[in-house]
Amino acid sequence: MLSSYRQIFAAPGTLAFSSAGLIARLPISMTGIGIVTMLSQLRGSYGIAGAVSAVLALSAAVLGPQVSRLVDRYGQRRVSLPATGVTVVAAVALLLCARLDAPDWTLFVAAAGMGVMPSTGSMVRARWAHLYSGEPPKLHTAYSFEAVMDEICFIVGPILSIGLATSVFPEAGVLLAGIFLISGVVLFTAQRRTEPPVHPAAHRSGGSAIRSAGLEVLVLTFVATGAIFGSVEVVTVAFAQEQGHKALSSLVLAVYALGSCLAGVVFGTLKLNGSMAGRFLGGVAVMAVSMVVPLLAAAWLRGSAGLLAVGAALFVAGIAISPTLITAMALVERLVPATQLTEGMTWTTTGLALGVALGSSVAGWVVDAAGAPAGYWVPVGAGLFGALTALAGLRRLRSGLAAAGGTVPAEAALQH
């Protein structure tokens, strides 16, 4: 198993840019839940907390692809450094508004400004694709490794964010996320020799990557997937608080990410058979079905036993996440032109961000109105929508792969 991962780091500079990318991605898992935890303490409402977090996600959904399009056109370093500066200024404004009890609208304005945060995960994957686009087995392993890194972020990030916000001061989680963002992006952009080349001429006449055949199916499905993630975060924090153990919510969410992390490690070593589009549909369907279990656990059990049962249910549900996301990134790499790869990958994370916005906001309203156990209906509904969307778009994904000429070479190479 380890030999597969050792091979991808044989190229000079790969460990450096991947490690720096890990630091720069930690804020993704810390910021949203940090805002929810901070504002639920300072303002006393999960509704307002979820809404501000949703505005951040919506802003990222609108601005993120545009920032990544500039990255493809002008280069990772030239765009991501100033984008990081704007993000940090907006984050500081949010913290000050929350601490000084400013009007609610100021929180939304500051959160919207944070939406220009660069998509480091997309930039890291673009570097892997530049290195191994002609070696699909290595690229599959590299994408799997980065999915595991994403899950490590979602294991460590919420623990740090919620733990600091509940034990030190409410703004501590978001503050640390800003520190990670600055240091990570500076270290990442310092790795110049592995930065993909830019193709300005290709962007003068070309449209957005979202026009690539099949990509819109992935994005819409990822909206549903993001709604699962966003609602699970908000509802789990609220459920833990109802049981008198709010600080333990970070551990429960970490277990959710751990299931995905372990699945990603194993998935990266597999020799895959069958249709890539079919594997994506299967992963989304399993995610949808698995969300029923935490709903039942929260409805039937209370106290420490309820938290333990929800944690176990989320661990099992997490197993489907990484394989689905890894397959989706492989699909993007085949569907989108190489000159627009960062933008194409960011569109999928945009779908996730939009889904997180919807899921966290709706979950906050449901929790305030009917209690935390009822809130688990939100990820169930989102999962059902995602599965139906993937099923309806299956033919379009397959035709997009065929048109791109990527179906046979990529999947045949993975089988040998």
pLDDT tens for 102-135 read 998 999 999 999 999 998 988 998 899 888 888 8
Whether residue 199 lies inside any domain: the answer is no
Q: What is the pLDDT along the chain (416 residues), one digit of tens a residue?
A: 567 788 889 888 999 999 999 999 999 878 888 898 888 888 877 778 888 888 887 888 888 888 988 998 888 999 999 999 999 999 999 999 988 989 989 999 999 999 999 989 889 988 998 888 888 888 888 888 888 888 788 777 877 888 888 888 988 999 999 999 999 999 999 998 899 888 665 554 556 777 766 788 899 999 999 899 889 988 998 899 888 887 788 788 888 888 888 888 888 777 777 788 888 999 999 999 999 999 999 888 887 788 899 999 999 999 998 889 888 888 887 888 777 888 888 888 888 877 877 887 789 889 988 888 999 999 999 999 999 999 998 888 888 777 766 443 333 333 33
Residue 294 lies in a domain: yes
Q: What is the CA radius of gyration of the chain?
A: 20
The model carries a pTM of 0.77
| Domain ranges, residue 352 | 2-194+209-415
CA distance 195 to 81: 14
Residue 178 belongs to a domain = yes
Q: Is the dihedral of CA 149, 155, 160, 162 positive or negative?
A: positive
Instruction: With respect to residue 201, please indicate whether it lies within any of the assigned structural domains.
Output: no
User: Of 107, 106, 115, whose CA–CA distance to 59 is shortest?
Assistant: 115
At 287-308, the pLDDT tens digits run 999 999 999 998 888 877 888 9
Task: Flag whether 200 is in a domain.
Answer: no
Q: Domains in the chain: how many in total?
A: 1
Q: What is the number of other CB atoms lying within 10 angstroms of the CB of residue 5?
A: 16
In a domain? residue 202: no
Residue 58 within any structural domain of the chain? yes
pLDDT at 407: 42
166 assigned to some structural domain:
yes
CATH number of 217's domain: 1.20.1250.20
